[in-house]
Amino acid sequence: MPLPKAELHLHIEGTLEPELAFALAERNGVTLPYATTEELREAYRFSDLQSFLDLYYALMAVLRTPEDFTALADAYLERAAAQGVRHAEIFFDPQAHTARGVSMGTVVEGLAAALDRAEERYGISTRLIMCFLRDESAASALATLEAAKPYLDRITGVGLDSAEVGHPPAKFREVYEEAARLGLRRVAHAGEEGPAEYVREALDVLGVERIDHGLRCMEDPELVERLARERVPLTLCPLSNVRLRVIDELGRHPLREMLDAGLLVTVNSDDPAYFGGYVGDNYAAVREALSLSQEQVRVLARHSFEAAFLDDDEPRRARYLAEVETYTF
């Protein structure tokens, strides 16, 4: 049995495996610029975040109907369950769909149909987090939040993703203020390719409760001390960092130093169809590359539930944490 864990940094569009992409392309009459799944996989050689994002957005063309989003989420949940995921907080990128004429309702209702049966089918509790694309305007983010208002009973929080450098968190101050007024939880990608200063800004200007990635905080000892003191969770994605060349190789990932610094780090998969592994694969890879002890791996799983948005269901959090404590490797 795999170690029980929560996954807190997972873009549902990043779980689109080549086989499903081709099946949906056929069903929807969409032509992909690749002849075979092998040819498509060949394109998964990225030089940085932008080179990945170009392919990630292009492939979304196959997602058109609510059933497509349901199939996408079902496929993820099944794989996640097999790797010990007991709770998943799932990002989606509404602007990448509404810009192509696919409505907010199609996306949210399609995903929700899979999430509604996730507990029964896969033993996974779920939350949905809607992300704003930071390389789009603040006005577009505000319009997106407005479009989401009929679906807020399904949406736990907001996040910020896409091309980071040149798009500082402060650009989205207003939309995060509105999200807070609506009672939404707030997270943001920061310090992946962007500087440590973006991590500080996400905390101070956007009021986020968790930082997605946050790796580059390690360049700023004062910030590290603050993140540790305030117990701010960081959702690390080690295999993603290697594939997007944020780090040279997994053996040089700072995760161990981050644990030693008392940071509340978690391990996640980001876009597993593109980066060579789901969340259990990320755990196994860092354990091996960084020679982590069983107890350190247990700490990572404990952190994942501590950092989860389960405040409305503390008995569930306690159950999950008890599973982690009694797990035998």
| Residues involved in catalysis | 192
One of 17, 136, 192, 201 touching ligand ADE (CB under 6 A): 192
Rounded distance between C-alpha atoms, residue 122 and residue 29, angstroms: 31
For residue 187, the surrounding DSSP H or E stretch is: strand 185-190
> Per CB under 5 A, does 89 bind Zn ion?
no
Rounded distance between C-alpha atoms, residue 178 and residue 182, angstroms: 6
HEC sequence for 228-269? HHCCCEEEECHHHHHHCCCCCCHHHCCHHHHHHCCCEEEECC
One of 14, 18, 110, 280 touching ligand ADE (CB under 6 A): 14
Which residues lie across from 265 on neighbouring strands? 234
SS3 label, residue 191: coil
> Per CB under 5 A, does 270 bind Zn ion?
yes
Minimum distance of ligand ADE from residue 226's CB (angstroms)? 23
- Binding residues for ligand ADE restricted to 211-250, rule: CB under 6 A: 240
Which residues lie across from 129 on neighbouring strands? 91, 157
> Per CB under 6 A, does 136 bind ligand ADE?
no
Minimum distance of ligand ADE from residue 241's CB (angstroms)? 9
One of 68, 89, 271, 306 touching ligand ADE (CB under 6 A): 271
> Per CB under 6 A, does 303 bind ligand ADE?
no
Rounded distance between C-alpha atoms, residue 179 and residue 277, angstroms: 32
Query: In the complex with ligand ADE, which residue's Cβ is closer, 20 or 60?
Result: 60
SS3 label, residue 313: helix
Letters for 54-93 (x = contact with ligand ADE by CB under 6 A, - = none) are: --x-------------------------------------
> Per CB under 5 A, does 93 bind Zn ion?
no
Which of Zn ion, ligand ADE, none sits in contact with 84, Cβ below 5 to 8 A by type?
none
Rounded distance between C-alpha atoms, residue 90 and residue 7, angstroms: 8
Query: In the complex with ligand ADE, which residue's Cβ is closer, 6 or 16?
Result: 16
Interacting residues with Zn ion (CB under 5 A): 270
